[in-house]
Amino acid sequence: MKVLIVDDEPLARARLKMQLSAIRGYEFLDEADNGMDAIDKAESLQADILLLDIRMPRMNGLEVCKYFAGKENPPAIIFTTAYSEHALQAFESHAVAYLLKPVHRDKLATALLSARKLTRAQIEGITWADGMKEEIGSVRRQICARVRGNLRLIDLADICYFRADSKYVEVHYEGGQVLIEESLNSLEQEFEAEFIRVHRNALVARSRIMSLEKDNEGHSHILVAGSKDRVAVSRRHLPAVRTLFKGQN
């Protein structure tokens, strides 16, 4: 089993590498000091297991985990953390493997034996658990997508709307569009404070709603700041959109 070690602290990576070398059946694959590098190496080197730190600059461990949630063959993930006991309840309640720093070899061996791929439901549950809200924040502030082989981070503040398209979700932002492998329902739950459901296949940034209009056939549409598109509003969601629009004016 090939293991990728991800931590922004060199000493923590060195400690894990040393302990891993003493456990039979596991191969040290490589190491990464940030989330973007972790995703690149995990995919290009086909890592079986990630020993993944949670608190890292720019892109934390939960964001890395979220990226892999929609993939067909994601690596198994073991979180390494220095969080408090209260925050660790978030992992325990969703049967997620974790190691408390400083990591001991016997516990690392046990965690490696029990490591398995996380389901999307498990990942979403971790994101919204109370213990994690207090220590890392309840939502991401950026979306990670792969564009022509390269990873790109899109700031949440730049996103105009999300639209479901088959198994993908289109992310429309100021300056472009990318595809991500996440569900619209999970995005709605995570970003409900910033985005509103306007159609079964669309979420629009609340702060970017410019006007609510009807076409010649009586269908409602939203004009969105930062986009030339007109986003359709379904009858089911029209009352909520009208209420929001009135509250902003």
User: What pLDDT band is residue 140 in, cutting at 50, 70 and 90?
Assistant: confident
Helix axes 120-128, 85-92, angle to 10 degrees: 150
pTM of the model: 0.79
Q: Does residue 51 sit in the same domain as residue 153?
A: no
| Domain count within the chain | 2
pLDDT of 137 > 60? The answer is no
13 lies in the same domain as 99:
yes
What are the φ and ψ backbone dihedral angles of 86, each rounded to 5 degrees? -65, -45
- How much is the pLDDT for 200? 96
Domain end among 85, 107, 136: 136
CA-to-CA distance for 17 and 5, rounded, in angstroms? Answer: 8
- Region 110-115: mean pLDDT is 88
CB-based burial, 62-88: b 16+ in 10 Å, e otherwise: bbbbbbbbbeeebbbbbbbbebeeebb
Question: Is pLDDT of 84 > 80?
Answer: no
Q: Find the mean pLDDT for residues 206-226.
A: 92
Q: How far apart are CA 197 and CA 206, in angstroms?
A: 9
Looking at residue 166, what is its pLDDT? Answer: 83
Looking at residue 59, what DSSP letter applies?
A: S
What is the extent of the structural domain holding 191?
Answer: 142-248
Residues 196 and 117 in one domain: no
